[in-house]
Structure 1
């Protein structure tokens, strides 16, 4: 079977989205590869197409390459019925996860040969992988053992073992989709998925798809599990009162009561869509609501943003926490397959969310794992976006990964395409979506019968952004020169048989004129060091009261016209009203106010007070950082740097020991580079 690697798949996807010819040099520039590599990839694509009896891609002299409508339809049909696969190479970390998950869902004794067969590596490599797996398991109080009769087993607390499966399995799901990995209970898995689909349809709700797949794979193990655990009567009653539990018990009647409760918890935890307060009565779970409102306030304080729709944000977090609290207490985790993408694409937002979640961890007495932080990041990120809109086009986003992921995509698309009229988010369920209502459809999965669909990653890559920009600029007609209009003017001077070729050349030329670069959501590319130098770090050796200290610290930004005096007054007024809310730790104040209070441009400075500044409620500030944030996004890199520096006691001690700006820059530069 001929397979395509990732680069070939991206190139084929680019050709599918293009309505005009693409020149080889354009592919070279966009993909940052050589011409030889492009020709090599085209040969592989043609071999793949030929193996499926589809006409090959041809290169037209002076025009480039382009797929016919018939080719596009055939390729899309192929991709929908048989997703593209690639040569599989499991990384060392993936092999470790595969080994752990295989043991946790084994249906027979597993030996080294079984791991060799699945991972396709040598015996010595698997032996090393087993050592790594053993070390990783020990971090969770679990032990990897080998017994002659049972093969490799994992000993320890049953809840922790299950938690690890649901933490690791989602990172491997794509391999199960492509057939690179298979379940020993494949028939049962498919039947279980049908049962979960029934529950989802009956309740008219949506669950994170990867969670349902993971549950479908793990349910057969529940029937074999000798170890058991118990829930408290109070928690049981709360969970057993839900519609989910009723349906789980009906569809999985062979499972014990506690196992049905266990499945229900997973479903409740993956039910991420925002629901009305009538459904989620605050009085029934005041603890979750109080934690949600406090978490939103803490995030808002740390991120220096104000949510216009704060109640909607709180309700979204409340719905998530209401189920998550149960999972935290019983070690039930929902692995987030997007965690690495979230941390890589939105590092500033992730770090701020992680810092805000420290409050949550303190309140409930258990640590919050990074996979949970990633989900919360998606929730908050979905509400941070620009508000510029110009009536020009309707965009539909199809995202079966959950509403929070869809909101994150919507936020970034609205930043990329500020002139979009509407941007709707739906999951791909049923056939009741009218694609005719949308000029552009963006999806994270292949969509049947949708010719104007752009396939993207759940977290947009650079190639995805460029593709969206091209599609939306091509679709948008207001204020742009159209090839048809130009052709109407000049066609009388051109032979009729050349009209179509001229139109294509005009489209290609006009597209090149409107080419723009993407503007990602995380526009916080300027960190602390972009603003700090020997003239913006100030040392004060005299005594000041807190109001004088804020005015003194803000004065340089007023002189630079980055802020107005109204901004300074607003910071003082808020401190009088709310107390020392701007402290980010024991001795550091992040002084800020709303953008509309007087921010002219993004700016930042640092002030060290050797004698300390006394604030209300007996708080003493040794460092005052003044941040002028002009929107909700551009300052996030600064905040990430601030969190990194002042969350580490050793780094903070070095900072407080500095006597001048030069020393301070050396300490900060070294810490941030590390």
Structure 2
């Protein structure tokens, strides 16, 4: 008898109506299957107390009996409660974060049974967690898989690091962008502190005009890479189309070298040439470089033209024009640079955007068509 089962019985005893299993499952952060397993345990435990647990399909669960009998049964169940080695009451969000950290980030071997016993939930709940994680990371032919016994990540090192980064960034909201507590769910506190200092607290010229969300994403990319490097794992960059061009931007290589040198000195971690290549490419995708963040001055004219076209089409003046210009100065050059190098990044939400915002999508598409992008 565990604490959740005792709490569940007490809750049902206090209610007058049937409680749907789905509602109970949400309340206790488990699956409906786990609730029914708990009910089966409770049914056996209260035999002889003149109390009955009634189940009605598509209606719910209810405890019938006189109040005195219920009180006696509750007291007995409380005495039967045993200390459990597992964790009760942890939310699905916390379980999934722990699974991503252990299975994908740290390469730990775990089984369905181990996780089920640890969190005192059904294996079905764990499988639901896995499905949710895989939906979030959305990497083709990669994700956490179960062979019915062990759980493991199916994918190469690049996919593994991308999966963790995507999961952490997706789970962050505006409040969490400055929260070390959120990051420490996944990464060691000392590593979080060093990277936070580098990307957030220090006024480094390379990141002066970088939007907070971009800084956060770059911080996560580096946290993942640093954690994996400390474990001895490194991304090996695929050969680019142009053999003479090792990076998307030479400027970003200098930034990456400075960052990895700083981390190596402060954290005593050895980084490789592969690590430098991987970080440089990620920084370049955000146009990070030593001089003006790698932005080509000619882009200002293009960005202003695009905004003017959009305002003309909608016959309005867009608010926050200066901020919009800065955001586009990071988005557009990186997008064109990736296209020039054959690095196609597909937005998984593009179909939904087209369907739900057809007018805005059409205007944006028209505005960008024929634009004179700098070469």
Q: TM-score if structure 1 supplies the norm length?
A: 0.30
Q: Which has the larger radius of gyration?
A: 1
Q: TM-score if structure 2 supplies the norm length?
A: 0.48
Greater percentage in helix: 2
Q: Which has the higher contact order (CA 8 A, sep 6+)?
A: 2
Greater percentage in strand: 1
